[in-house]
Structure 1
Amino acid sequence: MPRSPWYITRTDDALTLSRRLPARFDLAAETTLPGGDPLRLAHQIRQDMWRALQSLRGFAPAVEIAAAGEGLRVRAGGQVAGQVPGNAAGRIAEVLDSPANRARWLRHAGFRPDTNRFESGATVKNAHKIAAEIDKTDESAP
């Protein structure tokens, strides 16, 4: 079975999904979400961010999700090999602030208001299966 091309780094209260190690945020935007499975959220956010910035040469997406009070703090962005356009962080912020995106991410992440906000259904054993399921769609599709 092929290995997922994404690195998943976990700490006690945070999860980082990145294309390269160590994850680097040359550009980033932040938001908060009420909860859900952090790995599923990270993959969904990464896909939408990639769609918005796929024309940015040398872009390697990264998403960090950390517990923050009653919800989750999301930092999305990544590493850029080259010049960063002035509007790139704004484009990421638009992706993060889109009500349609946020609703879809929370549905996909299984958010229920009565559950723990930072529990992931993914384990080290099945993370590649979840990533493969999420990555079934082509990233370069509009």
Structure 2
Amino acid sequence: MARDQWHLTHEEDGALTLARRLPVRFDLAVEGRVPEASRARVAHRLRQDMWRALRHLRGFAPVVRVWRVPGGLHVRAGGTVAGRFARAEAEARIAALFQDPARVARWTGAGG
């Protein structure tokens, strides 16, 4: 598989999952909600920001799962990590992404 290829799967429950590797595994994960938007756009943009925040983790492979809920989208962001890592610190970095209104707007396409 080329470096820029990602697996984008549509699950039976209506979720969309973006992952580098299959099968999907969450060694760390944070869940959050964002306004209604394209699930694929949210998954790809969040994956980019998550990679930037966690690129120091050796063997990190991001996974983003997005599904529709009343009033928006529910997102599970995290992924697999080869080896030992500080889970609480890594999950705090992901959680901080959900708290940044500018990032959420970029993921959802709100405001340009």
TM exceeding 0.5 = yes
Q: 2:109 aligns with which of 107, 110, 124?
A: 107
Q: TM-score, normalised by structure 2?
A: 0.88
Match of 2:55 in 1: 54
Q: Deviating runs (4+, > 6 A) in structure 1?
A: none
Matches within 5 A, 1:30-69: 30-69=31-70
Give the Cα separation in 2 of the matches to 1:24 and 1:84. 15
Give the Cα separation in 2 of the matches to 1:67 and 1:32. 10
Alignment check: 8 A CA contact 2:61 2:80 kept: yes
The residue type equivalent to 2:72 in the other structure is G
Bigger strand share = 2
Match of 1:94 in 2: 96
Q: Identity of aligned pairs, percent?
A: 52
Alignment check: 8 A CA contact 1:14 1:66 kept: yes
How big is the shift at 1:96? 1.9
How big is the shift at 1:11? 2.0
Give the Cα separation in 2 of the matches to 1:43 and 1:106. 11
Match of 2:71 in 1: 70
Q: Aligned-residue CA RMSD in angstroms?
A: 1.8
How big is the shift at 1:54? 0.3
Q: TM-score, normalised by structure 1?
A: 0.71
Match of 2:28 in 1: 27
**3-state SS of the aligned residue for 2:5?**
coil
Unpaired runs of 5+ in structure 2? Answer: none
Unpaired runs of 5+ in structure 1? Answer: 111-142
Alignment check: 8 A CA contact 2:41 2:108 kept: no
Q: Residue deviations 1:19-68, cap 9 Å, x none? A: 10111111011111121111111000000000000010010000000111
Q: Residue deviations 1:62-81, cap 9 Å, x none? A: 00001112211001000001
Give the Cα separation in 2 of the matches to 1:43 and 1:63. 8
Match of 1:84 in 2: 85
Give the Cα separation in 1 of the matches to 2:53 and 2:3. 25
Highest Rg: 1 or 2? 1
